[in-house]
């Protein structure tokens, strides 16, 4: 196998994008999967087989996978998907459970999820064909609020919800400020409105359990400026390009990146 680092024509050029990003933008695979393809010797640039993802390529480069040229890069696109409960947000599940990707229309291109919703959670899941855009939307420094309607079992004291605005530590994990309000109490069940920015794994469920309330239903209704609205369960709808441009600007072209970390994050 040829050594990519020994070729100054490829490895030393400063312009262009990383090879993994190029493969992801072309819809071939995710950036992580691209590293596996390269390690397997399946990716070549201008006829030279790569053995390292530490490489920038320009639009003029001829990139092939298994000897076949990769497709032209598609512009970044974004879809709203109403995830039903009972589906996992992974491409494959070792336990054989159904995934969201198995339920998507065959007309969709290869997409990836923006963040995740766990098996029993439902509601808004954003999908994109662009790995860079997915990372931008997921990054904590982007600062977009995730909004949920949550049903819990137990009697809720509003002052305990208000205290979450200062953040909370659960089993050694520190969670940032959370806006939480009681929507209504119905007997021993209550509906809450919760808004947070970090989106750590199972954050809402863990915090509610810490407060002594069991989550019986969790619905994401908003992710930044994108809302679930009246999108039917299981339905997919593309975000119009104009709306995407208005909300994301130069991040669509890889030039934005996540903003700098706020010194005093809002809740």
- Could you give all domains of the chain from N- to C-terminal order, each with its CATH number? 4-69 (3.10.290.10), 78-253 (3.30.2350.10)
The catalytic residue among 118, 130, 230, 246 is: 118
pLDDT tier for residue 71 given thresholds of 50, 70 and 90:
confident
* CB count in 10 Å sphere of residue 225: 12
The torsion region of residue 214 among left (phi > 0), alpha (psi -120 to 50) and beta comes to beta
Q: How far, in Å, CA of 157 to CA of 47, rounded?
A: 66
Reading the block at residue 59, the tokens are: 């639009």
Q: Answer whether residue 13 shows pLDDT above 60.
A: no
Q: Is 93 a catalytic residue?
A: no
The stretch 28-55 carries a mean pLDDT of: 91
Please, which residues bridge with residue 179 across strands?
A: 195
Question: What is the per-residue pLDDT across 149-208, written as a single tens digit (0 to 9) for each?
Answer: 999 999 999 999 999 999 999 999 999 999 999 999 999 999 999 999 887 888 999 999
The stretch 123-133 carries a mean pLDDT of: 90
Task: Provide the pLDDT for residue 201.
Answer: 84
Give the 3-state secondary structure of the chain: CCCHHHCHHHHCCCCCEEHHHHHHHCCCCCHHHHHHHHHCCCEEECCEECCCCCCEECCCCCEEECCEECCCCCCCCEEEEEECCCCECCCCCCCCCCEHHHHCCCCCCCCEECCCCCCCCEEEEEEECCHHHHHHHHCHHHCCCEEEEEEEECCCCHHHHHHHHHCEEECCEEECCCEEEEEEEECCEEEEEEEECCCCCCHHHHHHHHCCCEEEEEEEEEECCEECCCCCCCCEEECCHHHHHHHHHHHHHCCCCCCCCCCCCCC
* CB count in 10 Å sphere of residue 91: 14
Task: Provide the pLDDT for residue 258.
Answer: 46
Task: Please give the model's pTM, rounded to 2 decimal places.
Answer: 0.76
């Amino acid at each position: 196998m040829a050594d990519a680092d020994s070729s100054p024509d490829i490895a030393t050029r400063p312009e262009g994008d990383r090879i993994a990003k190029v493969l992801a933008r072309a819809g071939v695979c995710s950036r992580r999967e691209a590293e596996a393809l390269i390690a397997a010797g399946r990716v070549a640039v201008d006829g030279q087989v790569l053995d390292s993802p530490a490489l920038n390529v320009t639009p003029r480069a001829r990139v092939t996978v298994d000897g076949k040229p990769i497709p032209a890069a598609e512009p970044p696109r974004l879809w709203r998907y109403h995830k039903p409960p009972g589906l996992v947000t992974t491409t494959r599940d070792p336990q054989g459970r159904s995934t969201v990707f198995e339920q998507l229309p065959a007309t969709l291109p290869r997409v990836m999820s923006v963040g995740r919703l766990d098996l029993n959670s439902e509601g808004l899941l954003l999908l994109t064909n662009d790995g860079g855009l997915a990372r931008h939307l997921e990054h904590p420094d982007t600062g977009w609020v995730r909004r949920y309607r949550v049903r819990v079992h137990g009697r809720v004291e509003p002052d305990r919800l208000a205290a979450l605005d200062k953040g909370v530590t659960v089993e050694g994990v520190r969670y940032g400020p959370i806006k939480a309000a009681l929507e209504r109490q119905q007997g021993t069940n209550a509906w809450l409105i919760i808004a947070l920015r970090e989106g750590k794994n199972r954050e809402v469920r863990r915090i509610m359990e810490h407060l002594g309330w069991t989550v019986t239903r969790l619905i994401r209704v908003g992710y930044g400026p994108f809302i679930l609205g009246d999108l039917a369960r299981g339905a997919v709808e593309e975000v119009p390009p104009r709306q995407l441009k208005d909300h994301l600007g130069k991040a669509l072209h890889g030039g934005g990146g996540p903003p700098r970390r706020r010194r005093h994050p809002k809740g």
